[in-house]
Amino acid sequence: MTRLIRQINFPADLRKFKKDQLKQISDELRDELIDVVSETGGHLGAGLGVVELTIALHYVFDTPKDKLVWDVSHQCYPHKIITGRRDRIKTLRKGGGLSGFTKRSESEYDPFGAAHSSTSISSTLGIAVAKKLSNNNNNVVAVIGDGAMSAGMAYEAMNNAGALKSKLIVVLNDNDMSIAKPVGAMSKYLAKLLSGKLYFSFRETVKMVISAFSKRFSQKAGKAEDLLRGIVTGGTLFSELGFYYIGPVDGHDVDNLVQIFENVKNSSHQGPILIHVRTQKGKGYKPAEESGDKYHGVSKFNIATGEQSKSKSSSPSYTKVFAETLIKHAEQDTKIIGITGAMPSGTGLNLFEKKFPDRTFDVGIAEQHAVTFAAGLATEGYKPYAAIYSTFLQRAYDQVVHDVAIQSLPVRFAIDRAGLVGADGPTHAGSFDITYLSTLPNFVVMAASDESELVKMINTSVHINDRPSAFRYPRGNGIGVEIPSINEVLEIGKGRIIKEGKKAAILNFGTRLEECKKASEILSKKGINITIIDARFAKPLDEKLIMEVANKHEVLISIEEGSVGGFGSHVMQFLSNRGVFDRGLKFRSMILPDLFIDQDIPEKMYEKAGLDSLSIANKIEETLNSNIILAKNKSKISN
């Protein structure tokens, strides 16, 4: 059999085929997706679930003139394969390769970049309004998953779209939580019927007729129609938000999807439309279908067996260390609560839930709610741990400020994926949490330099009952140090001296400590012995230790895996207020550069950021030499 998918480089090629060939094309696209991800790793289950949906959307709509926006966009690999990127598809998530998400700079078929959830309806509504203002009649389509619909932003956008009566199509990809149950052939028939010209025309005619009668009759007729549609389609909620609801529809019946999309495209309806599509995550690949997490994110794997490549590290992941330590504390303290925003396995709280199901709360993709929910628990004497990725906690910053910090509530923030994260790139990098938390009064902000320090910080947080606290830790495995007991706590605001030297000192905050040690080895070969401090706390600072180090050294370097305004900025502010710079101290702050760093392996990303051992050593040597040059120049002037 001729492989049709090989003849498709762009959607225009796809539209040349007959409808009865789309099933074969879908099957071939699914096979190609499995082959690609087995070599690159990445998001598999979600992409497998939208193969037919992807084919149908590009077959019916005139992309890229018609705009297609994928929410989160972790399911966009099939979309990328048929939109001019097949020749580069095996560079997915690699340095210099294709992004694992949609990206505007990558293709005109990606009209809006994503990676965080629940942004598609808002963005497509903006695009739709812009097109209306420009007298452009092209279609605008958003594809959003049922998980993303748990976020308030999606409903804010739907509420606005319904009020504006904008021309907008939303495809709800329901692949797990059943919003409404399909009812077989009848459901399919009704979906076709309700999306057809005849029903649209009939509906508008009824509205025109009843508007000529009394308001009372009009209200009753409208209620009757809404009730009927609610009974046969289950779309009452969406109808109330101003959307014309169609569904539920079998998302793997490509013929039916094409028919429905064509009906919607050709309809005269001017308001927003929601098409409820039911799909199966991992569809078409048995290991993914049978997996509990539906192969959401995978490493490289064997296609025949489904077995994934395992990490070679014998050290536990930071995420696992967090979960196991929290479990130990929860066994002794019934007030400890675990909270996650739809990331139980990603944050390790799935392990916590097995032990304490009644004290674990997955609130869905709703970080704002998660933080204020935690704040409410804290007011009643509980010890909530909000385990949220750094990049996702950004979405709840107002709640962190207003609901937690101002009230000085002891919510504990376990900030996973701190720093640069590798293949997921800038959208998932934890670049800003040090800055956006350290600026808040009365906050305790910690960063673990290794897994042992992480345990001590968790231990410490358990006893912080008068204010909020946060501890950050990276993605990946620890360095293999011994794990301490849960009784070892830190004195708040106190750092530790790793090694002592002369002339230059490093104030390290976070997991760059190992690179600092390597930099020290590089410098020692040149006769330069340096002091290394593990600061532990960005807030409160260890002011006594910082002053001691500043007074004993010519050069002081701060290092952190964060943006400007964080740890180094606070150190510089403190030293400036103490007049230390007037005495000639040379201070440099090494931070993440003022740019978004594209995906690569973490080691190369940190090299690009200038936070690797060689960059650290060079910075110290360069700063020391600037002191020597300055001294020579002063000597010349005096002579």
Catalytic site residues?
281, 367, 395
CA distance 145 to 126: 19
CA distance 499 to 72: 45
Q: Which residue has the tokens 């199966």?
A: 280
Q: Which residue has the tokens 């149950």?
A: 181
CA distance 43 to 172: 19
DSSP secondary structure string for all residues of 548-610: HHHHHEEEEEEEESS-TTSHHHHHHHHHHHTTGGGGT-EEEEE---SSPPPP--HHHHHHHHT
Sheet holding 469-472, edge to edge: 360-362, 336-340, 383-389, 412-416, 469-472, 444-447, 537-539
For residue 64, whether the previous peptide bond is cis, meaning omega lies within 30 degrees of 0, is yes
DSSP alpha helix (H) spans, 307-399:
318-332, 344-347, 349-355, 367-379, 390-393, 397-399
CA distances from 442 to 175, 466, 470, 542, 636 (A): 43, 9, 12, 15, 50
Residue 534: strand pairing partners:
496, 508
User: Amino acid identity, residue 141?
Assistant: V
Instruction: Residue 392: name the closest of 424, 358, 355, 438 by CA.
Output: 424
Instruction: Residue 461: name the closest of 411, 393, 418 by CA.
Output: 411
Q: Which residues contact 607 (CB under 8 A, 6 or more apart)?
A: 614, 615
CA distances from 421 to 389, 476, 607 (A): 11, 9, 13
* Torsion sign across C-alpha atoms 429, 109, 167, 236: negative
In 209-285, DSSP assigns E strands to 244-250, 273-278
Q: Is 333 exposed, middle or buried (CB count within 10 Å of its CB: 0-12, 13-18, 19+)?
A: exposed
Residue 553: strand pairing partners:
503
Q: Which residue has the tokens 């969406």?
A: 238
Sheet holding 244-250, edge to edge: 67-70, 140-145, 169-174, 273-278, 244-250
